């Protein structure tokens, strides 16, 4: 993994580009050949999350890995609306700017919720959808995490976190793994660096203020989302978003579901080779042709 200016990571086989959306410049990585596949990261993450899986995916797909606005290495815009609806709208702008009329789109955790919102806004832009342990209307465990970060103690904690040593970040991220010993070197500091940019934590906290209502607002939209062929991927030891909610979401969307054994909330980090196999098996299957369901 190389970097630009010693800061922004660029993975082998990818190049760094910028897309001008209405509110500013959105940074993304692109590489590989084949049909387009877009990867959308979680709330306090960036395209860095997908560094361990992009190599295999780029052998089959033209891969697009955006950093969502106000996080990662994209521009910071004061007062930016962090709701799921606004974030989904910016993702639609991104697809327009990079010329993707139709793509396979994968979203993880909060990014999975964003992708579901995008599916409501523009279902015609999807071939297929992959959701990785997304926050969803049937989940409840994540609500306690949000309450903590929105408390005075939690707010002070999250503001201090970006400047903590890498080993503390490794410990914190490891709590989302089933087996923290699987963590790749440099994981903690790789997540922490973009969070040090001014305005990032304030924006994340603003996102969390509306997140519960935003997730609940997805419930009546699920029949629209269900028109898109979907794979749901979940670790059976996810401590962040409970797998039971995944089964309920699977039923609501009429989706396929792949459960990864002895894996936590970040399967593309914890068992990247297995994750690549699961996703490629689904996306390369000709029966998952991407036509919208009747």
Per-residue confidence band for 279, with pLDDT thresholds at 50, 70 and 90: very high
- Domain contains 291: no
List the end-to-end C-alpha distance of the chain, in Å, as a whole number.
Answer: 43
Does residue 294 lie in a domain region? no
- Would you state the structure tokens that stand for residue 161, as one six-digit string? 């976190």
| pLDDT more than 70, % of the chain | 95
Per-residue pLDDT tens over the stretch 67-99: 999 999 999 999 999 999 999 999 999 999 999
Q: How many CB atoms lie within 10 A of CB 182?
A: 17
Which of 127-136, 141-150, 183-192, 273-282 shows the lowest per-residue confidence on average (mean pLDDT)?
141-150
pLDDT of 288 higher than 80: no
Residue 293 binned pLDDT confidence (cut-offs 50, 70, 90): very low
Residue 172 pLDDT: 87
Structure tokens at 184: 């790749």
Whichever domain contains 51, its CATH number is: 3.40.50.1820
Given pLDDT bands bounded at 50, 70 and 90, which one contains residue 291? very low
> Is residue 27 a part of any domain in this protein?
yes
- Structurally, the chain folds into a number of domains equal to 1
106 within domain boundaries: yes
Place of tokens 């697809």: 95
> Percentage of residues in the chain with pLDDT exceeding 90?
81
In angstroms, the CA 65 to CA 58 distance is: 11
Mean pLDDT to the nearest integer, 45-61: 97
Give the Cα separation of 247 and 32 in Å (integer).
Answer: 33
Instruction: Tell me the pLDDT band of 3, cut-offs 50, 70 and 90.
Output: low
- Name the average pLDDT for the chain: 92
Reported confidence tier of residue 17, pLDDT bands at 50, 70, 90 = very high
User: Cβ neighbours of residue 294 under 8 Å, at least 6 residues apart?
Assistant: none
Residue 292 belongs to some domain of the structure: no
What is the DSSP annotation of the chain? -EEETTTEEE-TTEEEEEEEETTEEEEEEEE-SSSEEEEE--TT--GGGGTTTHHHHHTTSEEEEEPPTTSTTSPP-TT---SHHHHHHHHHHHHHHTT-SSEEEEEETHHHHHHHHHHHH-GGGEEEEEEES---TT--HHHHHHHHHHSHHHHHHHHHGGGS-HHHHHHHHHTTSS-GGGPPTTHHHHHHHHHTSTTHHHHHHHHHHHHHHHHHHTGGGHHHHTTS-EEEEEETT-SSS-HHHHHHHHHHHT-EEEEETT--S-HHHHSHHHHHHHHHHHHT-TT---PPP-
pLDDT in tens, 194-253: 999 999 999 999 999 999 999 999 999 999 999 999 999 999 999 999 999 999 999 999
Q: Is the pLDDT of residue 292 over 50?
A: no
**Is residue 288 in some structural domain?**
no
Tokens 């590989």 -> residue: 32
User: What is the domain range of residue 85?
Assistant: 2-283
Q: Residue 185 and residue 230: Cα distance in Å, rounded?
A: 32
What are phi and psi for residue 27, nearest 5 degrees?
-85, 140
- Is 38 contained in some domain? yes
């Amino acid at each position: 993994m190389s970097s630009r200016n010693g800061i922004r990571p660029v993975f082998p086989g990818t190049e760094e580009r910028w897309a001008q959306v209405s509110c500013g410049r959105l940074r993304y990585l692109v590489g590989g050949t084949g049909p387009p596949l877009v990867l959308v990261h979680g709330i306090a993450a960036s395209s860095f999350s997908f560094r361990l899986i992009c190599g295999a995916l780029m052998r089959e797909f033209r891969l697009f890995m955006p950093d969502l606005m106000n996080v990662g290495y994209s521009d910071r815009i004061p007062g930016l609306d962090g709701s799921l609806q606004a974030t989904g709208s910016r993702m639609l702008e991104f697809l327009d700017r990079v010329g993707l009329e139709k793509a396979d789109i994968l979203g993880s955790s909060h990014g999975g919720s964003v992708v579901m919102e995008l599916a409501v806004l523009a279902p015609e832009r999807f071939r297929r959808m992959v959701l990785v342990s997304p926050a969803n209307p049937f989940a409840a465990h994540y609500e306690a995490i949000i309450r903590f970060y929105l408390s005075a103690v939690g707010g002070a904690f999250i503001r201090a976190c970006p400047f903590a040593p890498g080993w503390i970040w490794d410990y914190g991220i490891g709590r989302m793994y089933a087996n923290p010993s699987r963590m790749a070197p440099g994981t903690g500091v790789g997540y922490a660096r973009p969070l040090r940019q001014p305005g990032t934590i304030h924006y994340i906290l603003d996102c969390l203020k509306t997140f519960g209502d935003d997730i609940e607002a997805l419930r009546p939209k699920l029949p629209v989302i269900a028109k898109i062929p979907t794979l749901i991927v979940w670790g059976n030891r996810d401590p962040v978003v409970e797998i039971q909610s995944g089964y309920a979401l699977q039923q609501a969307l009429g989706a396929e579901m792949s459960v990864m054994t002895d894996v936590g909330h970040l399967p593309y980090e914890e068992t990247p080779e297995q994750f690549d196999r699961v996703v490629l098996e689904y996306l390369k299957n000709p029966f998952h042709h991407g036509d919208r369901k009747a």
